Amino acid sequence: MTERVLSFEEALAEVLRHAGGVAAPRAVERVGLNEADDRVLATIVRATRDQPPFDRSTRDGYALRAADVRDKLRLVGSLKAGEMWQGKPLGQGEAIEIMTGAPLPAGADAVVMVEHTAVASGVLTVEAGRTLRAGENVVARGAEARVGDSLLPVGRVMGAAEVAVAASCGCVELAVFARPRVAIVATGDELVELPIASYPTHADDKAVVMDGPPGESQIYNSNSYALAALVRGEGGEAVRLAIARDTLEDLRARIAEARGAELVLLSGGVSMGKFDLVEQVLREAGAEFYFTGAMIQPGKPVVFGRLASGPFFFGLPGNPVSTQVCFHLFVAPLLRALAGRSSVAPDFVEARLAEDVRGGAKVTRFLPAEMKSAWDGVTVRVVGWQGSGDVAANARGNCYCALPAGAETLVKGETVRVLLR
């Protein structure tokens, strides 16, 4: 068996290379604007009219000619948002009361804020010393966008800002990419399934689905559920298959079932143990391996590849923190690409260490950590843990603090990279 263990940077580059080669998903569906959150746009959203569609007052005040600001001005009318000025174009020495969002009347070229004025018997005066330039407190028609301009590109994830743009263009429905199907297979003889049906329902589910607590040597399968949540969070459709026992037969059956998906995530069975058979079964199935390990901790045994004329797969180390770290580092970028997103790289930020951290590892480490993002800065503190099986410690953190391979002890106040989750 030829092993291909890469540095963290090489492994990430390999994933990003494959993510970059993923063609846009073919399947497109239409969803209502209210159901569009987190979906990925399959067509450009264009401005359906100039924005703003008229010269818009940005203040409550008085529309006038900027050059007249020093004169005593005659008030000739009042204009609310939603109304067009129907009177004669505004002449020299005239002003019209105007509200925020109302179209500037013809003849006016600026708006003076109500706070800077006084009105007595229909005569407006602007506070002494106040100047006004043409265009002040007005956004000209088309200054934000011209009709036909591209406002949202293909591949953009719909968030509140994007929904506002679509609504402002009158989009009732949007074309979005279908969610990629991701098959999730947990492996291990020690695992006990929760009494939640998997898909498809297997005859042997009866044997593994149990209501009572696990036996003394057993543990609940938590990875399938964590992975399903992570997959949904990245825009995928999670298809949880039944647990594969640590037998060639069971693994073969599950991999055969998973073939119809666009991505297969296996957890467990990729380390050096006697019953770690996942790689062997993948090879048998004609898999091509892009890497069979990465110099990271947790997560070193992670494998990435593709089944012959089939889906991409990741073999994720079974320890729950390893599984999740590898998801954020490697699975998320590929899944984002399969979902049609244009921005796929894992999310890193910089933060200052709130406490010293002991370094010295030969691998790049991603330690569960708690990040505080405050107005006066972003700090991060590594949480105490019992290693990569410690789901509780992982949940006490909210991110992973990255320690570069070979780094010596890092001291409080130093800047480190943080992997967001």
Residues 41, 176 contacting (CB under 8 angstroms): yes
Quick one: what does residue 389 bind among ligand AMP, Mg ion, none, with the CB cut-off 5 to 8 Å set by partner type? ligand AMP
In the complex with Mg ion, the residue whose CB is nearer, 135 or 389, is 389
Give the E-state strand segments of 221-268 in sequence order: 237-240, 263-267
Looking at the Cβ atoms of 274 and 362, the one nearer to ligand AMP is: 274
Report how far residue 252's alpha carbon sits from residue 270's, in angstroms, rounded to the nearest whole number. 15
Q: Among 57, 198, 319, 364, which residue interacts with ligand AMP (rule: CB under 6 A)?
A: 319
Query: Distance between CA atoms of 40 and 345, rounded to whole angstroms?
Result: 16
Interacting residues of 193 by C-beta distance below 8 A, sequence separation 6+: 205, 208, 209, 210, 220, 221, 242, 243
Which partner in Mg ion, ligand AMP, none is near 320 (CB below 5 to 8 A by kind)?
Answer: ligand AMP
Binding segment toward ligand AMP, per CB under 6 A, in 100-108, 113-121, 263-271, 368-376:
263-271
Task: Map the footprint of ligand AMP across residues 1-60, applying CB under 6 A.
Answer: none
Instruction: Give the nearer residue to ligand AMP in terms of CB position, either 188 or 346.
Output: 188
The CB-of-276 to Mg ion minimum distance in angstroms stands at: 6
What burial letters (b/e) apply to 271-291, b meaning 16+ CB within 10 Å? Answer: beeeebbbbebbeebebebbb
Q: State which amino acid sits at residue 24.
A: A
C-alpha separations of 75 from 123, 139, 381 in Å = 6, 23, 63
3-state secondary structure of 83: coil
Total residues at interface with ligand AMP (CB under 6 A): 20
d(CA 303, CA 299): 10
Whole-number minimum distance, CB 246 to Mg ion, in Å?
6
The CA distance from 178 to 38, in Å, is 12
Residue ranges in contact with Mg ion by CB under 5 A: 188, 268-269, 318
Which residues, at least 6 apart from 313, have a Cβ–Cβ distance to it below 8 Å?
258, 263, 264, 265, 266, 282, 287, 303, 304, 305, 306, 307
Question: Per the structure block, which two tokens stand in for 83?
Answer: 């109304």
**Shortest CA distance to 156 belongs to which of 38, 28, 329, 24?**
38
* CA–CA gap between residue 268 and residue 323 (Å, rounded): 8
221 binds, among ligand AMP, Mg ion, none (CB under 5 to 8 A by kind): ligand AMP
Task: Check residue 229 for interaction with ligand AMP (CB under 6 A).
Answer: no
Cα–Cα distance between 337 and 197 in angstroms, integer?
Answer: 29
235 vs 268, which CB is nearer to Mg ion? 268
Q: Which does 103 bind (CB under 5 to 8 A by kind): ligand AMP, Mg ion, none?
A: none
Q: Is 242 in the site for ligand AMP (CB under 6 A)?
A: no
- C-beta of 20 vs 273, nearer to ligand AMP: 273
Q: Alpha-carbon distance 60 to 69, whole Å? A: 16
Q: Which does 310 bind (CB under 5 to 8 A by kind): ligand AMP, Mg ion, none?
A: none
Helix, strand, or coil here: 322? helix
- Of the candidate residues 25, 188, 293, 340, the single one contacting ligand AMP (CB under 6 A): 188
Task: Tell whether residue 392 is a contact of ligand AMP (CB under 6 A).
Answer: no
Instruction: Select from 20, 93, 260, 273 the one that contacts ligand AMP (CB under 6 A).
Output: 273
Q: By CB under 6 A, name the one of 105, 269, 299, 305 that touches ligand AMP.
A: 269
Q: Does 394 bind ligand AMP (CB under 6 A)?
A: no
Nearer to ligand AMP, 389 or 404 (CB): 389
221 counts as binding ligand AMP under rule CB under 6 A: yes
Minimum CB separation of residue 313 from Mg ion in Å reads 17
- Shortest Cβ 262–Mg ion spacing (Å): 25
Stretch of residues binding ligand AMP (CB under 6 A), selected from 43-51, 184-192, 209-217, 362-370: 184-192
The DSSP letter of residue 311 is -
Q: Which of 7, 125, 168, 222 binds ligand AMP (CB under 6 A)?
A: 222
Q: Note the residues at the interface with ligand AMP (CB under 6 A).
A: 186, 188, 190-191, 219, 221-224, 267-269, 271, 273, 276, 317-320, 389
